[in-house]
Structure 1
């Protein structure tokens, strides 16, 4: 899809506006990016300039994820559910209870009305007995976190 957008943009000299939280799409297709919070632009710049300035929040969100993803036993995209309050220490609790190393590869989380909201991408390494992917997803669901298995680290290692 992004390839088609780039092709149409180049062929017809179009300006294309994408409204997305998917920073891999921004990295792959955009020339410039703006971050909007509460209806106001808080940061704007050329993608290549922001990538060169990882000290900026938007620059950090655009950076590819850590190579740790390659060494993970399981890659997951996680979303906090609204119907269940999620404890802020869920990573350490799950890690200790089930001998997991959970590496936060990217994401964006906020507290909205007292609840965590956001999406993450994590790499899971099993240090003890390996849990099945289904069992891992059930454990996360019990904590109020929906999980989607990623078959492999996305090309540019998606930042969510």
Structure 2
């Protein structure tokens, strides 16, 4: 449904150059909840803005629902209607809601429908249906100032669905919300994904968001995708960065003849008495140094760091038993075993030139059909 190939984007300002995207290739299947995670400055927001061409990449291609958007002329071009038409199939949710304070909740949802040319009766009926879908039918006459943050974001989601999109883009949509509200909004996105068959690409810096709702994920650093794939496959891949960060475990290594092992439980192995079986079968002492368990995609998944008596060579049969039972087994290096993982260096946020900032503002208004909350 969404394919990016070798995307590059460089911002230039006051003699400086910042590479926001450096050859980013991504494949999002139809109907997936796909998370892109990374630290500030990793290029996440630039990537999602390139997917709907609010930012036009310097090179590379973007294809959505079989149509190459990067081959279409910009909206200021005489033939730019084709890009605007293609964008109606892509909804976007923003971190700061972007609601018009002078319009009611229903009025905010109706705004993109006005641009699409629907009649007043059609707009009203569709807006009320969308508000009912996101659980805000009884707030149709309220104004944004009367809503909580979670309710404002639900209005933003309803507005993003106004054009009957096949793709929904979410740029840090829950980062301004408290944990309980975040869970409810994420559940709403998951429900919409399943009920409407939406493909959802969400940007986040929170591993809990990926863990809660995503089918697949990509990790970005310094403008590059360093790891990507379905979560169940990543969790079963030894050495996976995303698996380690989704389920971090730590524990100091004792001196002496010992073996530290990181094991990942997934699938049927998550409910098995693996540790007690290991101790009985191989007559070895097992110490649990750390553990993290949770539910991913409706399945229990977790990681555990254990310590076995004896050297790795001596414990080779025990490690083989763990693998035979369907667990992913790793012997962490000393740095990881000490409970510290080197953090990637921060990349400064890109600075827009006046020209690109103006173009982005113009196209954002068109794509979302609403300026920042507070505008009149």
TM-score by shorter chain over 0.5: no
Query: Which protein shows a greater Rg?
Result: 2
User: Which TM-score tier does this pair reach, normalised by the shorter chain?
Assistant: 0.3 to 0.5
Normalising by structure 2, report the TM-score. 0.24
User: Quick one: higher RCO (CA 8 Å, sep 6+), 1 or 2?
Assistant: 1
Normalising by structure 1, report the TM-score. 0.45
